[in-house]
Each structure stands twice: as C-alpha cells, then as structure tokens.
C-alpha cells in the first residue's frame, strides 16, 4: 500500500530548528515566571508530552449539514487514505497515536491488512464506533424507526449483530473498546413508549455486552436530541449511568461535549461520572447552539479548561476505581481543511490540559474550605490566563513533532500533493431540507 506524499521527519526538524531559538527564550521566561509561583515547568511539559487523544477516521473528510456538504479537494477516498492523513497529524503533533474507526464506513476487507498498514504508519486503533443510525445499501431491514430499541425484534437483532461484528473487527485491529451511539427515539409525542424503549435498549445492550472481551470497555454515548427531535432513548448522563450500572463493570458513559441542553454545567457531569467510576470516554468538540461539532476550544475555551481541571483532579487521586477515560475527538469540519482543524484541536486540548496542570490545588482547596470564592476563582483563572504556548511547543519538539504543526503542514504543501494523488471528489449536496 503506497502512502503517497508524506511530510518527512527531516522537514519537521529543519523547521523546528528555525523556531527553536524563540521557543527556548519564551520557555525559559515562562519557566522563571512559573518558578515564582512554585511550579516546575519541566513536570508540566513532561505531562503534556504524554498527552494522547484519538482522532476519528471520519474527521479527516469534510463534514456537512443537512443542507449541504461542500467537499474539499484531496479528501481521503477510503480507510487507507484516512489512516495516512491521521498518521500525518500524529507525526506533526505526536499526540494522536490512535485512530477511532467507524463501521461500516471504514470496514476493512481484511482487518489484518489494515492493521499492518497502520503499523507501518506507527499508529494504532482506538474505540470502534458502530453505526445503526443509517441504512447501508442492500441492508435487509431498516433503522428508520430505531435500531437497538426498534419495535421489531429482528431489527434489534440486526443492530446487535452489527455491534458484535464491530467488536470482532476491533479485536483483530487491537482496539479495546466499543462506543455505542444510537439515534433511536421519536420525533413526536406518542411515537415511542419511553419505558418500553429503554427496556429494549437494556436487553440489546446486554447481548452486546456479553460479547465483549474481558479487557474491553463498552461506552454508552448519550445525546439530548438529533436525529430524534422529540425524545431520545439514551438522552442524558443519568440514563447512560443507569444503563452502565445495569450492564456491569466494563460498561461506562461517554461524554460528548455537544450533547447537552443549553446552560448545563458539563464539568459537573464529568465530575459526577468520575466520582461514580463511570466515565469511560470523551468526545471533544465545541458548540454554541446544538451538537455543532466545531473545533474544541473554539467557542468555550474556559469550559474546556474547567473540564480538564476535573480530569486532572481525578487523575491525582490515589483511590481511583476505574481506568482513566479514553480521549477522542468527534468533530465535523465543514469549512476548514479537516487536517488543519484536527491539528489545531489537538493543540487546544493540550493547552487546556497544560493550564489545568498549572492549577495550584492546595491553594484551591484552602480557599474552598474557607468559602473564599473570589480567591478560588482567581486560582483557576491564574492557571487559565497563563500563556502555555511555550510548553506546548517544547513538548512537541521534544517528542519529535513540529513546534508549529499548522505552519509546517501548510509549508509542506501536503494538501496540494493529495489533490494530485487523489481524484477530485464531486461536490455533492444532500438534497435534504
């Protein structure tokens, strides 16, 4: 399998060389500042170097809305092209070692071949994502009215089997988890019986759970609405938590930042699920209105920081009952080059993570115990307003990534090469309004 054009490590190194003097100056300045605050910059940088988040295979293609999809040029044509793009993001950022696949979009003819190809690109596989919210050509039964909760047992069985198949494929690829998101629900009052549909969900989920290897996790993803516009079966964290409790210790909840009602305090949901030992997975993105799937950190960066504050806090506890949550990106890149958006997203996640690492937790606790709200807030804000860019650049440089990955990406003309290598995708419209 040919990867076509890639960005050479030497090219990255050469650009890093140019950028390093300024970076070192900024880094040492920041180091001095942090030292005054009692923070050793090296510990932070080392943690940032270890940060990893999975990229979604579907994220390297251009996304769209129900109104239109405006394809970009040089888009990946198949799962191999997608892996090439993902590997390139990892080479530049050194923070995306794994790819989350989506079945059937990325269904490999032979998983072993796919795994070998990934190995050759030095990337692995993260959570498998099943799809029972669309009908595939030639599919015997339709998911129009639901999948795991469909009134018809044979449709449920089809959806269950598809999930079991995803586990099998994933197992061959080295994945360790399955994310289950269904669109099941109703558009109108009366369409769905709330109780029956949840009972059916549990019955179906139990069958999937039974097929789960011992070292796998099952992530239950909830979402307030869309595609169902009145009621959704797995609609909030409370329901996902209930389901996970019913299923067993390998089941947990998946938080997608765009799946909540307006105004909801998401960092608190994160804290709750961590406290209850049921936070399994994370879908990073950002949004202003609904499930907008924008680039993480582009709309509400302070919220992202507060979420990482909870995640870091939990990671410091000695009494953890559950594995750390799996970080994934789930975005729809409609107006940007998807690779550029993903590079940028990784940087924003690392930024929020680094800022969260800067929080003086002893002081914070001190103020909390004294009801000193203003100083508690300032403690968080002090960390948030610190410009951690030098830490991010240094972490990447030390990991052999690019100090300024977006710059290097553009400079490399990667996209131009891919436009030549990959036949132009026709601009298609959904024809749906």
Interface positions, 1-30, toward a copy of itself (CB under 8 A): 22, 25-26, 29
Q: Mark 383-422 with x for binding to a copy of itself (rule: CB under 8 A) and - for no binding.
A: -xxxx-x----------------x----------------
**424 near a copy of itself, rule: CB under 8 A:** no
Q: Candidates 80-88, 109-117, 162-170, 334-342 — which segment interacts with a copy of itself by CB under 8 A?
A: 334-342
Among the listed residues 253, 267, 275, the one whose alpha carbon sits nearest the alpha carbon of residue 307 = 267
Q: Mark 157-196 with x for binding to a copy of itself (rule: CB under 8 A) and - for no binding.
A: --------------------------x--xxxxxxxxxxx
Among 235, 326, 350, 397, binds a copy of itself (CB under 8 A): 235
**427 near a copy of itself, rule: CB under 8 A:** yes
DSSP 2: -
Task: Write down the least CB distance from residue 239 to a copy of itself, Å.
Answer: 6
Give the nearer residue to a copy of itself in terms of CB position, either 11 or 133.
133
Give the nearer residue to a copy of itself in terms of CB position, either 38 or 433.
433
> What is the separation of C-alpha 389 from the centre of its chain, rounded to a whole number of angstroms?
22
Task: Write down the least CB distance from residue 391 to a copy of itself, Å.
Answer: 12
Give the nearer residue to a copy of itself in terms of CB position, either 111 or 405.
405
**32 near a copy of itself, rule: CB under 8 A:** yes
Burial string for 344-361 (b: 16+ CB within 10 Å, else e) reads bbbbbbbbbbbbbbbbbe
CA angle 179/145/155 to nearest 5° reads 70
Among 77, 292, 399, 417, binds a copy of itself (CB under 8 A): 292
Task: Write down the least CB distance from residue 257 to a copy of itself, Å.
Answer: 13
The 3-state DSSP class for residue 245 equals: helix
DSSP 276: T
Among 3, 145, 165, 207, binds a copy of itself (CB under 8 A): 145
Task: Write down the least CB distance from residue 315 to a copy of itself, Å.
Answer: 13
Measured CA to CA, the distance from residue 123 to residue 139 in angstroms comes to 32
Q: Candidates 82-90, 120-128, 157-165, 224-232 — which segment interacts with a copy of itself by CB under 8 A?
A: 224-232
199 Rama class: left (phi>0) / alpha (psi -120 to 50) / beta: alpha
User: How many of the chain's residues bind a copy of itself (CB under 8 A)?
Assistant: 123
Element (H, E) at 102: strand 98-102
Among 24, 52, 64, 250, binds a copy of itself (CB under 8 A): 64
- Looking up tokens 């209850």 gives 276
The beta strand positions in 148-270, using DSSP E, are: 177-180, 185-186, 217-221, 231-232, 251-256
Measured CA to CA, the distance from residue 328 to residue 95 in angstroms comes to 11
User: Parallel, antiparallel, or unpaired for β 185-186 and 124-129?
Assistant: unpaired
Task: Write down the least CB distance from residue 45 to a copy of itself, Å.
Answer: 17
Q: Mark 347-386 with x for binding to a copy of itself (rule: CB under 8 A) and - for no binding.
A: -x--x------------xx-xxxxx-xx-xxxxxx--xxx
Q: Which residues pair with 101 in a beta bridge?
A: 128
CB 165 within 8 A of CB 106: no
Task: Write down the least CB distance from residue 218 to a copy of itself, Å.
Answer: 19
The 3-state DSSP class for residue 218 equals: strand
> What is the separation of C-alpha 7 from the centre of its chain, rounded to a whole number of angstroms?
24
Among the listed residues 162, 126, 122, 165, the one whose alpha carbon sits nearest the alpha carbon of residue 143 = 162
Give the nearer residue to a copy of itself in terms of CB position, either 3 or 202.
202
């Amino acid at each position: 399998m040919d990867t076509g054009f890639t960005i050479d490590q030497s090219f990255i190194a050469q650009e890093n060389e140019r950028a390093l003097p300024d970076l070192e100056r900024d880094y040492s300045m920041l180091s001095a500042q942090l030292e005054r605050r009692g923070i050793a910059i090296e510990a932070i940088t080392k943690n940032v170097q270890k940060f990893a988040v999975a990229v979604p295979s579907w994220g390297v293609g251009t996304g769209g809305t129900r109104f239109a999809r405006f394809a970009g040029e040089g888009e990946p044509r198949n799962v191999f092209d997608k892996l090439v793009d993902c590997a390139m993001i990892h080479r530049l950022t050194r923070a995306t070692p794994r790819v989350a696949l989506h079945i059937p979009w990325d269904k490999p003819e032979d998983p072993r071949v796919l795994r070998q190809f990934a190995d050759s690109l030095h990337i692995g596989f993260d959570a498998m994502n099943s799809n029972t919210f669309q009908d595939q050509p030639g599919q015997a039964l339709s998911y129009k009215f639901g999948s795991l909760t469909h009134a018809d047992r044979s449709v449920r069985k089809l959806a269950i089997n598809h999930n079991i198949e995803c586990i099998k494929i994933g197992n061959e690829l080295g994945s360790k988890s399955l994310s289950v998101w269904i669109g099941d629900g109703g558009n109108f009052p009366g369409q769905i019986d709330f109780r029956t549909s949840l009972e059916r969900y549990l019955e179906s989920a139990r069958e999937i759970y039974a097929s789960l290897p011992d070292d796998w996790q099952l992530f239950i993803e909830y979402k307030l609405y869309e595609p169902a516009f009145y009621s959704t079966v797995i609609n909030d964290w409370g329901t996902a938590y209930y389901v996970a409790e019913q299923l067993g210790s390998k089941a947990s909840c998946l938080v997608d930042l765009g799946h909540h009602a307006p105004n909801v305090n998401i960092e608190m949901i994160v804290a709750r699920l961590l406290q209850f030992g049921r936070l399994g997975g994370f879908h990073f993105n950002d949004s202003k209105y609904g499930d907008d799937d924008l680039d993480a950190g582009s709309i509400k960066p302070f919220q992202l920081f507060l979420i990482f504050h909870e995640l870091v806090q939990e990671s410091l506890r000695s009494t953890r009952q559950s594995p750390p949550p799996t970080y994934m990106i789930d975005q729809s890149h409609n107006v940007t080059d998807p690779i550029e958006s993903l590079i940028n997203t990784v940087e924003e996640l690392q930024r929020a993570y680094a800022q969260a690492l800067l929080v003086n937790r002893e002081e914070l606790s001190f103020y909390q115990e004294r009801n000193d709200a203003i100083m508690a807030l300032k403690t968080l804000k002090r960390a948030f307003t610190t410009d951690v860019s030098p830490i991010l650049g240094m972490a990447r440089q030390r990991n052999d990534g690019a100090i300024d990955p977006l710059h290097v990406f553009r400079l490399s003309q990667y996209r131009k090469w891919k436009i030549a290598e990959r036949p132009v995708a026709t601009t298609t419209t959904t024809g749906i309004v």
